[in-house]
Structure 1
Amino acid sequence: MLNMARAPAQARGSRGLNCLAGKMQANPICVPTVSNDTGWDFCFHLSQQTAIPAQETDDLFTACHCEETEEDTAVQEAGMTVDCMSIPKQKLAQSQKKINQFINEKMSTKANKELIRCFILSQIVFGKEHWKCAQASANLAYGYLTLRGLPAQAKKHAEKARNTLLTWKRNTTSDKDKKEILETLVILYYTLGIAWLLQNHGKQAYIHLQKAERNMKELKELNNDNIAGIQVSEKDLTIALGRASLAMHRMNLALAYFEKAICGVILAKGHDTSDLISLYEEIAQIEQLRKNHEQAIQYLQQAYSICVSSFSEVSPQTAEASALLAKAYAMSGESQHRDAVEIYFIRSISTYQTLGSEDYETLTTIEDFCTWLIQNGEKQEAYRLLKSTLNSGTFGDCGKKVAETFYNMGSICFAKGELREAIELLRKCLMIQSLIYGSEHTKSIETKSLLSLLQRASLSRWKKEAAPGRKKSVCRDRME
């Protein structure tokens, strides 16, 4: 009837104590089709064209035609030959600088467009089969994954670049080129691994991430263990391998990867760095799945302490960490943890309400707390808390959560035998669900079925109460 699991969101604030793989299956990232992205469509099909278009909306291809500037004219008049590739090379260098600028300014879409521009200019400057062009394709794949969250597009570009890079790696004689190719292969296989993971294919993800790990090892050997500045860090790769292991339900392997990632972060930044928060929260999920509740609680206590010291007690990060800690205590099932469950849930809810801008998270935490209250026989307290939440009137933009709250309140009333109140609450729930999801959605149908059941039960009860024998009995009681 009620579910302790929190539905995941795109941000870190959505982590609960459920299995990461289960969360991916329940709420997979929407993967748009190729036709939904015109930039992708253009640059991918460019390689299939027999000739480069003579005109384009921006100045990419006019650059290829080497339009004459005043400086070019002066050079030609002096009898000097103009290098036709100089302008595309200049534009490629400019575009590469812009990418870093846009990424630093959090302008993801513009950064991705510059990656497309780099890919096209690399085709012009180096040729479609050159490893530099494959490198640009791999960078674009990584951009589609990290900047846009589009794994299907990322996979297409990464796969397109792979064969060219592998051929050049075997044949190259320059150590400098080999280092760049190895770094690009790390990016490429990491991109493929994460893309497969986002599409709920744990085994394929793990295979590709292992290839990224092998190439990173080779890069370290070639570079005397110095891989500072590489786009995909060892930490990123280790965490990804841990998540892929978790998706394959290999808990011990996943645990080993996360322990390795945590040790690496502590060595690099110390025990109090905020980088450890998400790692402690994820490793706690693994310990929960392994039924090691006390160990999970210890990890989440560490995460909570770092949140307090890094962000203060009144912050979204601390509110989330407090909620996760409360759920960890609740999931242990130990009676000695009852007070801790209540303390941390109340602390989290209070922090969210103080901040005033975390409506969805507040409702979710209240719902989790009420679930625990109901499981422990405190239905009246759960109902009171849910009712006070709705009466506050601050959750108008969270229709889905409001509908869930009405459903939960109706379920509580049903369990208590208060059919009239339950029917009224479920009607409100159904009205909101029909507006949000439509009347034929699974959630709406489920609520409608429960509502019909309660209405029949209510009618049956009313008939019994209205029966002649029942009336006489009532009259007799009153006369006496």
Structure 2
Amino acid sequence: MLPVPIHIPTDSTYADPGSNCTTPKTASTVLDKEETEGSVLDYTERSQDTHRNDTRLPKRQSFPNDKLTKAEMRVEQFIRDNEFPTAHKELIRCVALCRIIHGDFHWRLAEAFANLAYGYLTYKGLPAQAKQHAESAKSILLRGVDMTKSSKEKRGILGTLVTIYYTLGMAHLMENNGREAHISLQKVEKIVEELEELQEKESVTGKISEKDIALALGRACLIQNKSSSAMNYFERAAELVVSSEGDSSPELVSIYRDMAKAEQKRKRHDQAIQHLLQAHSICQSVYKPLSVDAAQTGLLLAKAYAAPGSSDYSEMAEKYFTESLGVYRTVLGPDDPQTLTACVEFSKWLIQNGNTQEAYKMLHQAVGLGVEYNETVSEMLSIMGSICLADGKISKGYRLLKKCLEIQVAVDGSQHSKSRATQNLLSTLQKSGAVGD
């Protein structure tokens, strides 16, 4: 029989209308979220009909096998060379070849779709496509895969399940859906427990580590405002990094930042500052003081010192605001969006502390550089306009706010809440007679 047409499915339907075989129910209990108790791999219900998936291909069809092997090797090489778009094309090729070789219901096809989904997530940053192909992989396993009880097969299916659920979890995180992300990532945890029973934890997947899983779970908890649980996962992730790479690993920077967020949500500002100091120290050591990474952690430190609102921290807040803005200007230039964002944050803190004229001067200098208009620039103009209005400079404030509105409408549209708020303020000023038409 000729193979069915090759395509990359856009839904989770894989029925072969020309096949009368019965599909086994090997992995369906794992994938059903209502049946989370018991073994991740329940192989007790198997079909005796194995003619489709376990039938060995005749020698005349060995060519697709060779092409698949070479495609998989190219994927690994392109990833090592950071040639991600080319690697992604090879992942698509692997799906097509797996379908020719193994058919519609084999776990190897599910594995290929899972890898493609992970590629969409990691190399392209497209969560919707990542979820689509991860669901396709899951659908194949839900329909039942015909396997033996060998450890090699079990490791393969475990690796596929890890990739599927981790990809789904991270895709939901990218879409800020903490609850769905948590559900998928908890399944990954359960699969890892099953793997520990096989004593094969480290060999499941080279793409996803225990640290990745702990960090993702922490972020899922953080989105759901479960700060204590998030801290537990972040601490676990930090322990894993320190044990394998030392306490100066660059990977700790993002973890310490996340730990600071969790502590800030719990109103534990001193602890948040300590985590950010650790992150900043690593950045200055690894990336050097004049680096974007050091500027970013410096800005976070400044905001952390400013958060408590205590005068005891004012000196440190100003120190890190000044240092961070200076590094941004030096490394990226004065008109870079990140530099302008740091300028806005610094100005807000200055206004909070009563230094409105210093804030206005800083913003005026930044806007006067001929920067490209964007959302950050509109915010700068809004702040400047508000300062002018507060000082009684109504006409000047009106002109600044009018320019701010033009940018807001161009960027967000006239019906956006920010645009409407600015328009209402301008209308009020016009009706008051303080400015001309």
Shared fold per TM-score greater than 0.5: yes
Matched, 1:335 2:311: yes
Task: Confirm or deny: 8 A CA contact 1:407 1:426 kept in the other structure.
Answer: yes
Matched, 1:407 2:373: no
1:14: which partner in 2? Answer: none
Alpha-carbon distance change, 49 to 129 in structure 1, aligned in 2, over 3 angstroms? closer
2:264: which partner in 1? Answer: 288
Pairs within 5 Å for 1:8-407: 42-44=8-10, 47=14, 83-162=59-138, 164-165=140-141, 172-223=148-199, 225-227=201-203, 230-357=206-333, 359-393=336-370, 395-396=371-372, 398-407=373-382
Task: Confirm or deny: 8 A CA contact 1:220 1:227 kept in the other structure.
Answer: no
Task: Confirm or deny: 8 A CA contact 2:332 2:339 kept in the other structure.
Answer: no
What is the Cα deviation at residue 41 of structure 1?
8.0
Instruction: Return 5+ residue gaps in structure 1 as ranges.
Output: 1-39, 52-80, 463-480
1:433: which partner in 2? Answer: 408
What is the Cα deviation at residue 150 of structure 1?
2.2
Cα deviation, 1:119-161, whole Å, max 9, x if unaligned, reads 1110100111111111111111211221222222222222232
Distance 1:429 1:139 in 2: 46
How many equivalent residue pairs?
391
Cα deviation, 1:316-342, whole Å, max 9, x if unaligned, reads 001111100000000021211111111
Q: Which amino acid aligns with 1:148?
A: K
Task: Confirm or deny: 8 A CA contact 2:88 2:116 kept in the other structure.
Answer: yes
1:64: which partner in 2? Answer: none
Distance 2:332 2:183 in 1: 44
Matched, 1:453 2:419: no
Distance 1:170 1:250 in 2: 40
Alpha-carbon distance change, 352 to 460 in structure 1, aligned in 2, over 3 angstroms? closer
What is the Cα deviation at residue 47 of structure 1?
4.6
Distance 1:427 1:380 in 2: 21
What is the Cα deviation at residue 432 of structure 1?
2.4
Alpha-carbon distance change, 416 to 49 in structure 1, aligned in 2, over 3 angstroms? farther
Alpha-carbon distance change, 289 to 327 in structure 1, aligned in 2, over 3 angstroms? same
Distance 1:361 1:444 in 2: 23
Structure 1 stretch displaced more, 404-413 or 383-392:
383-392
Q: Which amino acid aligns with 2:67?
A: K
Q: Secondary structure at the match of 1:353?
A: helix
Cα deviation, 1:155-195, whole Å, max 9, x if unaligned, reads 22222322544676895311111111111111111112122
Of Structure 1 and Structure 2, the greater helix share is in: 1
Which has the greater radius of gyration?
1
Task: Confirm or deny: 8 A CA contact 1:219 1:227 kept in the other structure.
Answer: no
Distance 2:189 2:254 in 1: 22
Distance 2:253 2:146 in 1: 41
2:26: which partner in 1? Answer: none
Alpha-carbon distance change, 225 to 189 in structure 1, aligned in 2, over 3 angstroms? closer
1:442: which partner in 2? Answer: 417
Distance 2:139 2:405 in 1: 54
Q: Secondary structure at the match of 1:236?
A: helix
Q: Over aligned residue pairs, what C-alpha RMSD do you find?
A: 2.5
Distance 2:208 2:61 in 1: 31
TM-score by length of 2: 0.83
Distance 1:215 1:172 in 2: 19
Distance 1:219 1:307 in 2: 35
Task: Confirm or deny: 8 A CA contact 2:159 2:204 kept in the other structure.
Answer: no
Q: Which amino acid aligns with 1:251?
A: S
Alpha-carbon distance change, 345 to 425 in structure 1, aligned in 2, over 3 angstroms? same
Q: Which amino acid aligns with 2:260?
A: A
Distance 1:354 1:259 in 2: 34
What is the Cα deviation at residue 413 of structure 1?
1.1
Q: Secondary structure at the match of 1:84?
A: helix
Instruction: Return 5+ residue gaps in structure 2 as ranges.
Output: 1-5, 19-56
Distance 1:249 1:307 in 2: 28
Considering Cα pairs closer than 8 Å and 6+ residues apart, tell me whether 1 or 2 has the greater RCO.
1
What is the Cα deviation at residue 431 of structure 1?
2.3
Alpha-carbon distance change, 92 to 227 in structure 1, aligned in 2, over 3 angstroms? closer
What is the Cα deviation at residue 383 of structure 1?
0.7
